[in-house]
Each structure stands twice: as C-alpha cells, then as structure tokens.
Structure 1
Amino acid sequence: MIVLLVERAKPSLRGELTRWLLEPRPGVFVGQVSARVRDRLWDKLCRSLDSGAALLIYTTNNEQSFGLRTFGETAREIVEHEGLWLVRLPRSPESNE
C-alpha cells in the first residue's frame, strides 16, 4: 500500500495520478500498486513538480513496516535515525535553543 501527499501540483498531474491511485482528499493519494509502478509514479511525479513538494509512504519490511521518500520543500523534515523514520519540526525564529 502507498500513501502519496502532493503539495502545489498541477491539476493535470493530479489527474494522471488518479489513473493509479484514489484521491480521497485534494493532494492525498492512496492505493495498492507494485514496487515497479510505485517507483515509476514517483519518478514521473518528481520530474513534473516544478515548485511543489511530495511525500511518499509505502509498506516495506523493516521495524516500522513502512518507508518514506520526500521531494521538494516541505514544512516538516523527514530524517532517518538508526533505521527509524522521524519527523523534525522546524525551529521557530523566537526559540534560542
């Protein structure tokens, strides 16, 4: 299973993704595709996003049972630490830490 979150994508790109995946909310795509189709969709998405961003979450055989891929400028940073995926929130300009 994959979950694909897309920000600032052209309607034509979103329409093309709906050929393979369901779009229950704008910019949120869900589906069950093979690894080959997933990788090809991701490559096409990355080539087609000009100033947009994307996050791909897919099932895999690891401790968390999922993997992540990101593309573009997103509000949160995804980092891998000792084999685990974590989300890092940006620091606010007011914090002095």
Structure 2
Amino acid sequence: MVVVIANDLPPAVRGRMKLWFVEPRANIFVSGIKDSVANDVVQYLLKSCPAQSGLLIFQRINKAPGFMIWGQGDPNKKIDEISGYQLIVEKILNQ
C-alpha cells in the first residue's frame, strides 16, 4: 500500500497518478499496488516532482515498523527519526 499526500502536484504527474491510485481528496492518493511497483512509483514521484510539491509518501514495507516515510520539498509536516523509527512532527513546542 502507498499513500501520497502533496501540497501541489504538476498536472502531468497528477494525471499519471490517477492510473494507479484513488484520489479521495485533492492531492491525496491511496493505492494497494504491489511492493515492486510501489518502489518504482515512489522513485518516479521523487524524481518528477519539484520541491514545491511538498510530497509526503507512506509506503508499506515487509520489515519493522511496517512502513517507510518519504518526504520531498517543504511538506506542511516535518519527518523526524527517533531510535530508527520515523515520525511526523505535529507541533514543535518551545521550552
């Protein structure tokens, strides 16, 4: 399974995404494609989308923790890693 959340996608990429994915909301794509195809799709997105696309990609993998998070550009949420576990930062607290 792959879930893609973007701030904005180029029209050509968005049209191609509709071949593999369901788009339940604007710029949110969900698909149950096989792992080998998912790797190709993730690489295509990372290569074809400019930084202003703000990509956030969740890909299912067969090892712990069961998913991989990819980010490119300036997504609204930051990806952080703690003890090898990828997390999405919701809010940064000032201490």
For this structure pair, what is the TM-score category when the shorter chain's length is used for normalisation?
0.7 to 0.9
Matches for 1:59-78 after TM superposition, within 5 Å: 59-78=60-79
Give distance in 1, aligned partners of 2:38 and 2:62: 16
Give distance in 2, aligned partners of 1:62 and 1:84: 12
Q: Which residue of 1 aligns with 2:46?
A: 46
Deviation at 1:9, TM superposition (A): 0.9
Matches for 1:1-97 after TM superposition, within 5 Å: 1-50=1-50, 51-89=52-90, 91=92, 97=95
Give distance in 2, aligned partners of 1:3 and 1:18: 13
Count of paired positions: 94
8 A Cα contact 1:76 1:88, kept in partner: yes
Give the number of the structure whose alpha-carbon radius of gyration is greater. Answer: 1
Structure 1, gaps ≥5 residues long: none
TM-score by length of 2: 0.80
- Aligned sequence identity (%): 24
Deviation at 1:26, TM superposition (A): 0.8
Task: Identify, as 1 or 2, the structure richer in helix.
Answer: 2
Structure 2, gaps ≥5 residues long: none
8 A Cα contact 2:6 2:75, kept in partner: no
Partner SS, residue 18 of structure 1: helix
